[in-house]
Amino acid sequence: MHRYLQLIILGSLITAGPALAQDSNRPFTPSGEIQIPSGAEIDRMLDSNTVPPPAKEFSPNDAKAIQQMDQRAKRIDEKVMKGICTDC
């Protein structure tokens, strides 16, 4: 009987451990799901001033434009990783 109680307690600790290890300060959506915008929503975002046109965003010089795009991609990756995990 004592052994079964120990196994139940051990099983409870094993299942509770990952839940306690999760970060509670992460961004939260009410449904808990990621929403992917539809094509029409993407078109509206691109038509609005929220996204600058590529011609104004990057240099006309190809080498410099590639460097700017790489820097932008790195900034986006850092923001995504910060949103996914705080220990990265």
Cα–Cα distance for residue pair 54/15, rounded to 1 Å: 49
Q: What pLDDT sits at residue 62?
A: 87
Closest by CA position to 58, among listed 67, 45, 49: 67
**CB-based contact 59:65 (threshold 8 Å):** yes
Is a pLDDT exceeding 60 seen at residue 27? no
Query: What is residue 30's predicted lDDT score, i.e. its pLDDT?
Result: 65
For the stretch 64-80, pLDDT in tens is: 888 988 998 898 888 87
0.85 surpassed by pTM: no
